[in-house]
Amino acid sequence: MIAILKPLSIPDFRWLFLGQLVSLVGTGLATVALALLAFDLNPSDAGLVLGFALAIKMIAYLVVAPVVGGYAHRLPRKTWLAGLNIGRALMVGVLPFCQEVWQLFTVIFFLNALAAGYTPVYQALLPDILPEEKAYTQALSLSRLAMEMESLLSPALAAFLLLFVSYDLLFQVNSAGFVLAACFLLCVTMPISRGSDRTGGAWQHVSFGIKSYLRTPRLRGVLLLNLALSAAGAMVIVNSVVYVRAVLGLAEELVPLLMLAAGVGSMVAAFALPSLLERFNDRPVMLSGGVILVLSLVAGLFDPTYQGLFPLWFFIGAGSTMILIPTGRVVRNSCQESDRNDYFSANFALTHGMWLVGYLLAGSLGGSLGMTLTFLVLAMVAIIATGLAAFVWKPQDKHELWHEHPEMEHLHPHYHDEHHQHEHQGWEGPEPHVHPHYHEKQKHRHRFVIDEHHCHWPKQQ
């Protein structure tokens, strides 16, 4: 059996993966249909409509994901995820009935708000389904491979279907895919989510994930590498058509073939990464991905021909995957199990914020400065981001750190761990339970993450 397929032997992951697969294929078909719908609604400004739709998507991600991260631990995950898929099915089913651009934007916002509620919780669930690191890494690679396969095959499938049916049916196929994914989720035995020990009001719950993420040095490094990724990835997504049509003066049929190179590079890296990550830590692999992205963008300064773009796009795809796949491992290892929803939601929101920056830069610079200067500016962004990532994410990154706790007394839900060893009166109930308790001043060493008891990274680091 190919190593990357081994997680499929685990029934719960198999159902999750099948749900992801049908959702991806349906979404790929709906993406093609969305472009056609945008043209029908506003033929003269279809590109502008799609650009606003993309911005609305990112805004929904940035606004909704932190809120979900703060409160998802209170919800039954199976019902939550299945319900969101049903909601997405309804939203996609409404799209063909949009008669005005504002109606399209409204549905797109709610559709992506549901996606922002679904994806981080799904990502936080995978480590519970696959606690063993090797299987988890293989699952991340398999998921990435599925995404690339969808991006390559869905346009071809959509083109074939459109020979026989109208594009409205593609929305219905996506809607049916979400319903089927919800059914698959109901077949999964999901571990009970460990309750959060967080205190405070609504703002504390909503902001906890992003604040904790940004206070963790290795995660700041991950975010910076995602900025480098977005600079290179946006060049491929936004400016492939501009370079091929406007700069080289070639036919539009050659654009998808060029973008195929990035997908192939990503797939090759997805196959290679599980064995690579057994030999090397996440940091050198991810930084190597950043360097590959930088070199690819710098190579674009030499006015490549159409054929010359293929290796650049290939290595951008490979470098992007070298950053994306280990990201899940780094996030998982940087938080308590009970806070995974918060951290994965923060990662989802912040990294999509990086993509928003990349899209804006690639789109605005490509139209005003030309391709060579756009390559230069995006290469500088990637160089600075990768360099800062190497600086803030130290080579001697340790998971177990010495740190000191002040004397304190407080009230919050807690388990009895290295921070809670105290007397009980007998009325407190099963763990996690809530009662006033006292912490002595102490200095100790253990796996360190930002949580209720550790609000700041130790100064010596």
Residue 219: per-residue pLDDT: 93
For residue 83, how many C-alpha atoms fall within 13 Å in the half-sphere facing its CB?
A: 8
Q: State the fold for domain 207-395.
A: Growth Hormone; Chain: A; (1.20.1250)
**pLDDT tens, position by position, 354-393:** 988 888 888 888 777 888 999 999 999 999 999 999 999 9
Neighbours of 421 (CB within 10 A): 10
Question: Does pLDDT of 461 surpass 50?
Answer: no
Residue 1: per-residue pLDDT: 45
Helix (H, G, I), strand (E, B) or coil at 31: helix
At 15, is the pLDDT very low, low, confident or very high (cuts 50, 70, 90)? very high
**pLDDT tens, position by position, 117-156:** 888 888 888 888 888 888 888 888 888 888 777 776 766 6
Strand partners, 408: 439
Alpha-carbon dihedral sign for residues 295, 296, 301, 307: positive
Question: Does pLDDT of 196 surpass 70?
Answer: no
Average pLDDT rounded to a whole number, residues 105-113: 86
DSSP state of 454: B
**pLDDT tens, position by position, 64-104:** 877 776 666 667 888 888 898 899 899 888 888 888 888 88
Q: Higher-confidence residue: 461 or 109? A: 109
Name the nearest CA neighbour of 373 among 225, 242, 237. 242
At 417, is the pLDDT very low, low, confident or very high (cuts 50, 70, 90)? low
Across all residues in the chain, what is the average pLDDT?
A: 81
- Global pTM reads 0.82
Question: Does pLDDT of 446 surpass 60?
Answer: no
Domain 1-191, CATH among 1.20.1250.20, 1.20.1440.230, 3.20.20.70, 2.40.50.140: 1.20.1250.20
Name the nearest CA neighbour of 245 among 254, 234, 237, 236. 254
DSSP state of 72: G
Instruction: Please report, rounded to a whole number, the percentage of residues in the chain having pLDDT higher than 90.
Output: 25
- In the chain, the N- to C-terminal Cα span, in Å, equals 43
Residue 440: per-residue pLDDT: 65
Residue 72: per-residue pLDDT: 61
Domain layout of the chain by residue ranges: 1-191, 207-395
Question: Does pLDDT of 34 surpass 80?
Answer: no
Question: Does pLDDT of 459 surpass 90?
Answer: no
**pLDDT tens, position by position, 310-326:** 999 999 999 999 999 99
d(CA 115, CA 345) in angstroms, rounded, equals: 11
DSSP-based helix, strand, coil % in the chain, nearest 5:
75, 5, 20
Place of tokens 């070298």: 322
Question: Does pLDDT of 420 surpass 60?
Answer: no
At 24, is the pLDDT very low, low, confident or very high (cuts 50, 70, 90)? confident
Cβ(392)–Cβ(436) below 8 Å = no
Q: Same CATH fold, 207-395 and 1-191? A: yes
**pLDDT tens, position by position, 223-275:** 999 999 999 998 988 888 888 888 888 887 787 788 888 889 998 999 999 99
